[in-house]
A and B are shown apart, each in its own frame.
Chain A
Amino acid sequence: MIILDLLLLNILVLCAIAAIRVRDLLSAVIIFSAYSLLMAIIWLQLGSPDVAITEAAVGAGVTTMLFIATISKTRRYE
C-alpha cells in the first residue's frame, strides 16, 4: 500500500509543477483538474470517503468549469 501511496504522491507533485510551468492557461486548468482527481484518490486511501467524493465533485468538476468559463471570457495565453 505504501508503494501505491508514494506513486500517487509523486504524480501529484509532478502535476502541481506542470500546472504552474505550462504557458497555455487552458492546459494548466486541465492539469489542475487531474491534480484534484488524484488528490481525491489519495483521500480515499486515507480513509475519508466523505471528503473524497466532495473533492471529486467540486475540485475536478465545478472549479474546472468556472475556470474554463473565465478563460472563454478573457484570453487563453499568458
Chain B
Amino acid sequence: MYKEEILILRVVVRFMMPFIQIYGCYIIVSGHLGPGGGFAGGTIVAASMILYALTFDVDRALDKVPHKHATMLESLGGIWFMSCGIVGLLLGGNFLANGQIGVPLGTPGRLLSGGLVPVIYFGVGIKVAMTIMSLYFSLVEEDR
C-alpha cells in the first residue's frame, strides 16, 4: 500500500520536473519584459530540486548537484554580478551603468532589449537557485 503511493508520487514528480524548470528559466529570461526576474525564477528552479529531494532521497539529489558544485556556482553568480557592475566603472560611467556607456538598448518589448539587465538577471538567477538549494540541503542533512 505504502509502496504504491510512493510509486504514483515518483512518476508524477518525474513527469513534472522539466516543466517546472523550464518555467523557472522562462521567468529568469523574460524578467525585463514582465513580472518575474532573477530572484523569483531562481527560487522556482531551486523549488524543483527541493521537490526531487523530498520525493526521492536527499542523497540522490546531492548526487545531481553536489555541495562543491553548488558553492562554486553560487560564487560564480556573485562574481558575474560584480563584473557586470565594474564594466560600467571601467568605461567611465556609474556602477552598473547601462545606457550611459553606450550599451545598445533595443526597442522595448522585444526579448533582446534592456541592455545589461538580462545579463545581470542570469547571474542573479544562478546565485539564488544555488543558495536556496544549499539552505534546504544543509538544514536536512546536518547531523551526518
List the interface of chain A (C-beta within 8 A of B).
49-50, 52-54, 57-58, 61-62, 65-66, 69-70, 73
Contacts and interface: CB of A to CB of B under 8 A. Distances in A.
Contacts, number: 42
A52 B35 contact: yes
B136 A69 contact: yes
Interface string B17-54: 00000000001000000111101100110110010001
A50 B27 CA distance: 11
B136 A57 contact: no
B54 A65 contact: yes
23 contacts: A50-B35, A52-B35, A53-B27, A53-B35, A54-B40, A54-B43, A57-B43, A57-B44, A57-B47, A58-B40, A58-B43, A61-B43, A61-B47, A62-B43, A62-B47, A62-B50, A62-B132, A65-B50, A65-B136, A66-B139, A69-B139, A70-B139, A73-B140
A65 B135 CA distance: 11
Interface string B47-72: 10010001000000000000000000
Contacts of A73: 139-140, 142
Chain B, interface SS category: helix
Interface residues of B, number: 19
A69 B141 CA distance: 10
Nearest to B54: A65
Contacts of B142: 73
Interface of B: 27, 34-37, 39-40, 43-44, 46-47, 50, 54, 132, 135-136, 139-140, 142
Given A54-B40, A62-B132, A66-B135, A49 B47 contact: no
Nearest to A52: B35
A3 to B, nearest CB: 25
Contacts of A65: 47, 50, 54, 136
Contacts of B135: 66
